[in-house]
Structure formats: C-alpha cells, structure tokens
Amino acid sequence: MNDAPATASSAVPAISTRFLAVWRRNLRVWRKLMLPSIFGNFGEPLLYLLALGYGFGRLVGDIGELPYMVFLASGIICSSAMNTASFEALYSAYTRMTVQRTWGAMLDAPLTVDDVALGEISWAATKALISSSAILVVAALLGLVGGWQAILVLPVILLTGFCFGACAMVITAVSRSYDFFLYYFTLVMTPMLLLSGVFFPLDQLPPLVAQGAFLLPLAHAVEIVRPLMLGGWPSSVVLHLAVLAGYALVAFWAATLILRRRLMS
C-alpha cells in the first residue's frame, strides 16, 4: 500500500482533493442501485413521519402552537441524516474495507488513508443529504414547511451527515466484525434519538437530562432545523453549528489516526 510517509507520521489529517476520487467511486456504484437505496433510506423515516405524525399525533394534539405532525417533521429529517450517514460509514464502509478489500486497492493507487477516510465520510454525508432532502420534499407537499427558510436546512443536513459519518467511521476503524456495530446503535444512537428533541420537546424532560442532551450533536441539529422548517430563524446558531463541526473534526481526526495504525500495520 502506498501512503505518504509524512501522512503516516503526522498527527493532523492531510486534506487534499484526492478524496474526491473515493467519493466519485462510491457515487458510481450507488447509481447502479439508486432506486432500492433511496427507497431504503427514505421509506423508514417516511413511515415514522406518517405513522407517528397522524396516529400518535391524534393522541398528543399540539406541541405548544404546533400540530404534532409539523413538530415531528423536522426531527425526522435530522434523525434520517444521522441514521443514513451512520449506516453508510459503518456497514458499507466496513464491507469495502474488510470484505471487498476495496480500500486496499485504493491505497495501492496514489491515495492515502486520510484520502480514503475523508472520501468515505463525505459520501456518507452525501447519502444523508439525499435521504433527508427527499423527506423535506414530502414534508413540503404535506404542508409541513412554513417558509422559504427551509431551503437552508440542506447545508445543515450536510454538516450533520458529515458529523455522524465521522463518528461512525471511528467505530468502523476499531471494529473487528459487524456485530460490534450493535453496541454503537444500542448505547449511543438510540438514546440520542430519544433524548434529542426528535419526538418530543426537550423541556418535557427532567432539567438534568435536557442539559445532557445538548452534549450530543443531534440535539443541536434539531435546534437549527426546526425553526427553519417553521419559516423562522434559530437562536444560538453559531453555537449549534460549532458543536456539529467540533464533533465532525474531532471524529475525523480520531478515525484517520486509528485507520492509519490498522491499515498500515
């Protein structure tokens, strides 16, 4: 495997445009399975939106001044970004790394481990953007979007997808089998989904739990996306974006360091 010596010894990931080759490769493969992939990424969140929005929404009624369906739509968009990016950077990336040995072939080309990691995470973010965009379109058709500000949800979703793709890549880097991913889903993603304001307001939680939720990235994504979906503007947007970006950068750094040791040993 060819890897630049400076990259192998440097503590800081080396960023270059070579990662786009990895991103394009994954895009070409995805295009062959585009329809079932979109249906898989799109179907489950849509089912949550319709089943919980219409069914559970009749029991809950309004959340403040919002119909529950409107409240839920923004949370589902964010959770879809988290799940899609995580699944891509876990199962699909692990398959390319260990089963198909695609990464080994890439590293025999003029690519570094850092290029491969960044390309895979960027692709995971792109998949998140695709699935969440589809749900946003459906939400707009259902009348759940309050204004043109909803278009600004897209760059936030891209950052959210990169954040969760990078976090999932850390798990992929240390995993020795697919079974290890279950711990991540059970101990990290499921609690985050339930405690980040996706299905109910954070102010309904005990104060300590609500404050703890803001230590997690999904709550910050929801805090930005929900006001934009309603046609308003989020508060503390710099803080929320900084948390998402901070998680993304730290996780990308950690993933590259671990993958270098694993792939270059």
pLDDT digits (tens, 9 = 90+) for 8-50: 556 788 888 999 999 999 999 998 887 777 776 667 667 777 7
pLDDT of residue 42: 66
Nearest of 22, 24, 12 to residue 102 by alpha carbon: 22
Contact criterion met (CB below 8 Å) for 162 and 243 = no
Distance CA 155, CA 247 (A): 16
Indicate the DSSP class of residue 130.
Answer: H
Q: What is the pTM (predicted TM-score) of this model?
A: 0.90
pLDDT on residue 4: 46
Provide DSSP, 136-158.
Answer: HHHHHHTT---SGGGGGHHHHHH
Query: Domain residues of the chain, as ranges?
Result: 15-264
For residue 126, give the nearest of 160, 169, 99, 76 by alpha carbon: 160
What residues does 66 pair with on adjacent strands? 63
Give per-residue pLDDT as tens, 159-208. 999 999 999 999 999 999 999 999 999 999 999 999 999 888 888 888 89
Count the alpha carbons within 13 Å of 141 in the hemisphere toward its beta carbon: 8
Is 139's pLDDT higher than 70?
A: yes
Paired tokens of 69: 């369906």
Q: What is the CA radius of gyration of the chain?
A: 19
Closest among 77, 57, 80, 58 to 69, alpha carbons compared: 57
